[in-house]
Structure 1
Amino acid sequence: MLNFPFCSRISDCSITEEGYKALASALRSNPSHLIELDLTGNDPGQSGVKQLNDLLQDPNCQLKTLRFLSLTADEACQYVTGIRGKNPLLLRELNLSEHELGDKRVNQIAVLLQDKHCQLNTLILRECSITEKQGLILTSALKSNPSHLGELDLTCNKLGDSGVKNLSDLLMNPQCKLEKLNLWDCSITEKQCLILTSALKSNPSHLRELNLSGNQLGDSGFENLSDLLMNPQFKLEKLHLFNCKITEKQCFILTSALKSNPSHLRELDLNQNELGDSGVKNLSDLLKYPQCNLENLNLWRCSITEKQCLILTSALKSNPSHLRELNLSGNEIKNAGVNHLCDILKDSHCKLERLRCFFFNSVFDKHKSTAVSKRA
């Protein structure tokens, strides 16, 4: 039986996951004496952290202090544990949304993110009032430990030039495996969008979801994004561009790019943008393609006219088998558009599950019920 002193310091001893397992097993067999254990600077892996964390739950364990991390990262752990009720070293997802972190907490969390013990897959920091300075600190931390993170959500924070530059450096890193990036309403400028999309062009193969809604991307940003969408290595499945003040020219460029590489995209959100005749025509051509696998199309309040609606619905009639959700709310679809929609619903190949056009419910519901009864 091992006889440990009351305090044991074995920091920076190159202890691996296997060593942690042996240590945890020994402590479990004789847990009553040790009150402090410092393992800072060793690499236990997730299973090692879990075993020692489980040890703390043993009623016979007298440990008052168990240290894996630096003091700053440990303070971040205590802060997160107080909010989420679980040690972040054992979490794969960390959501601190709507907590105003301030400089102190941002610095602590940045140190935690850099620590090799931290292996988060998902980091969600929506509406945390992150400033440009804080954005720089956080993105610098992510750059130093990029390989685990698969989803990053920074909705409604202002990253500024330096934060966007650092985020772009992260995206260019070959070790970065980010699949979901949400930058909704982050005050991204045309120049910043150009930097971001250029970074993605240099390392395009991992990203599957991109949300740039509520930002002013400008002509150069859209051109770069469109170049990216044309790249066969870029396999984006969800693209959200809600309220990006897209012009008819920009929509034409964007939809032309999607036409050239149509097979990956499953969800497209163009809500609250004015597509214009050429944008609607290009989008309709995309929908006709047999290679188009789009399942969710959002066109809420896109100033679509009756004529444009007929072009869109005619395209859907020619290739109805993929689409599952369609939102045409807030557009002038009128009776002719409703009739076309009913023809689609009657088609046995139609797999549409959700159809929204709420400004015209009284008209549409009548036609929908007739269409569905005829299909039945």
Structure 2
Amino acid sequence: MNQQTIFVINSGSSSLKYQLIEPVSGDVLAKGLAERIGTDRGEVTHIVHGEKHTDTLPLPTHKEALNHIIDLFKENGPDLDHVGLAGFGHRIVQGGWYFKGAAIVNDDVHAKITELCDLAPLHNPAHLIGIDTAMELWPDLPHIAVFDTAFFADLPEKTRTYALDKETAHKYRIRRYGAHGTSHEFVSGTVCDYLGKDTVRQITLHLGNGASACAELGRKAIDTSMGLTPLEGLVMGTRTGDIDPAVVFHLLRKGMNVEEIDTLFNKKSGMLGLCGDNDMRDVWQRRDDGDSDALLALQVYQNRLLKYIGAYTFELGGLDVLTFTAGIGENDARTRYRLCEKLEFIGVKIDKELNENRDPSKSVWRISTEDSKVLVLVVPTNEELAIARQAIRLI
């Protein structure tokens, strides 16, 4: 049988998400998630043909988790020996200055991903565990690393460069690397395909617990909100986004240490820090119940989005398309509507009925009116499919 499927792995520190995908058709043959790895009450969920199979068992390491996933494939299908498995695609958050595209994992690539752990300490080490585990179990198949930062590797110097002493910046490789690049690349490419042209001036908003904005000319990124790390930019579920760096010095002088500040900025701030919830559904409910903290959190969230949309519209020399994606972007009609209301001055007109009744089966959904000067779209992101397609092209 012709090799035609890719096993996509997104490995976290205590979890492992996977999908078995046919890259050409985009069909997902199976998918699942192993959670609470490293505990004696791990859980593995395997979904095939719409049926969910869940087991609870000890999962001391990622290897045991992946071995159990293999068992679930044997028990419930599809048979990995008969699906034309071409190789594995591994999501890697940080590719730094080394990678402008996907790469076949060898000793050199592995060493570079390891070196870049300092820039993504919550992500790259976990990704390496996934790579090592899968390569041990499938040593004869190619393993492809697909980098979130690759889409931004060729950002214009004027947008990737910080106004930092250039010798220090060069010594420590400090620049804007961005994140969510696999998503932004997939979504902006889908928009270009939908419109049948590559000259479109567009802004894509990846709004989930992590959130980022990207300005693109056609299929090429020219600016993005995340920086050296995924902390910079928009207000997120638990991350501050943009903040005066002197806040760090102030907190250090007040007695907090670097680890405490890192945890505060990345895990205890954002919507969670502002109002105590990072699930937008709960925040909206609290706002409706008259909670002033929730109201302020939503206002801060929206205002940061407006600032980036305004800045990117000027950078692009105008705006043709505004696209929402990811969990909040795809599913939160109120967030989309309230934001677009504030954009009427640049010609955005939102169709309230289309916005509130999006067809989730459609790969592109217009929510703006016919006479809107800016086309507003919802495009479900599919990072796993993007990874699978990059992997199969390289293979």
Q: TM-score, normalised by structure 2?
A: 0.26
Higher RCO structure, 1 or 2 (CA under 8 Å, sep 6+): 2
Q: TM-score, normalised by structure 1?
A: 0.27
